[in-house]
Structure 1
Amino acid sequence: MSQTSSGEPSTGELISRLSTDLSTLVRDELRLATVEMSGKAKKAGMGAGMFGAAGVLALYGGGVLLAAIVAALDLAMPLWLAALIVAVVLFIAAGIAALMGKNKVSEVGSPMPEKTVESVKADVDAVKHARDH
């Protein structure tokens, strides 16, 4: 170590230490962030899997509920008519949902990022004009 006459490290030595300490600090922080993010990603993956399981169970529950509705209607009418009524109601609900979805999609318009395309065209024109002049 080079030190000044007062026994303290020189400016060059201090800058060298600072550089070393800073790179060590950055590496340690990156390691910590990696460990933290991998733990969070594992928890998020487990949570997403549980949401998927909940969706499947809800789907089965919906099927059982529909079967119960058919069985309840079977008390007042023939089984085939009860099943037909439930199926028609489901198809009507599906049609309404499809029309609402179609309307929402048509509101979006073109999938192209139109403002970005216009901005890029303007940038290209500006560069061309700047080059020509």
Structure 2
Amino acid sequence: MSGSTPADDIPSRRPDSEVEARARNESLGEMFASFSSNLSTLLRQEIQLAKAEATESARQGGRGAGMFAGAAVGALLALIFLSMALMWALGSWMHLGWAAVIVAVVWAVVTAVLVSMGRKQLDDMKGLPRTQETLGEIPPTLNPNKETP
């Protein structure tokens, strides 16, 4: 013999990790309960995070929308005063009433063109074609609106 003992032939065992120890000692039911509990906690935390992020985004979006609304009011006032200036400039060549009518007609034409363009854009709107396509691919058993065969 070369001086080795039977104990030297047994590979040394490292201590079990926490996962290995749980795998040896817990039943499948206990593991599933633990998994289910951890999954529920994770989903709850993800939902809370999503709510917090959505709230912050909505707050920031609200501030931005308010600033756009203020800019729109400013633009409207500028447009009104520019229209009045044009009316007064035309009034130096003609009666002020006719100048006001000319400015009003110009704005009526601009409005009609914008309405026409907006209506065309709305008519060309396609909705949600990709969503409709993917919803059509849902198996009948998962679709709550259809009775399964």
Shorter-normalised TM range: 0.5 to 0.7
Of the two structures, which has the highest relative contact order with CA contacts closer than 8 Å and spacing of 6 or more? 1
**Equivalent residue in structure 2 for 1:22, among 11, 35, 39:** 39
Query: Counterpart in 2 of 1:89?
Result: 106
The structural deviation recorded for 1:95 is 4.4
| Count of residues paired in the alignment | 105
Percent identity over paired residues:
36
Counterparts of 1:1-133 in structure 2 under 5 Å? 8-12=24-28, 13-97=30-114, 100=116, 104=120
The structural deviation recorded for 1:31 is 1.0
Matched to 2:31, the amino acid is: L
Matched to 2:25, the amino acid is: P
Structure 1 or 2: larger helix share? 1
Q: Name the larger-Rg structure.
A: 2
TM-score, scaled relative to structure 2: 0.54
Task: Extract unaligned runs of 5+ from structure 1.
Answer: 1-5, 109-133
Matched to 2:73, the amino acid is: V
The structural deviation recorded for 1:102 is 9.5
SS of the aligned residue for 1:76 comes to coil
TM-score, scaled relative to structure 1: 0.59
Distance 1:30 1:55 in 2: 36
RMSD: 3.3
Q: Which moved more, 1:82-91 or 1:63-72?
A: 82-91
The structural deviation recorded for 1:11 is 3.5
Distance 2:79 2:35 in 1: 64
The structural deviation recorded for 1:44 is 1.6
Matched to 2:36, the amino acid is: S
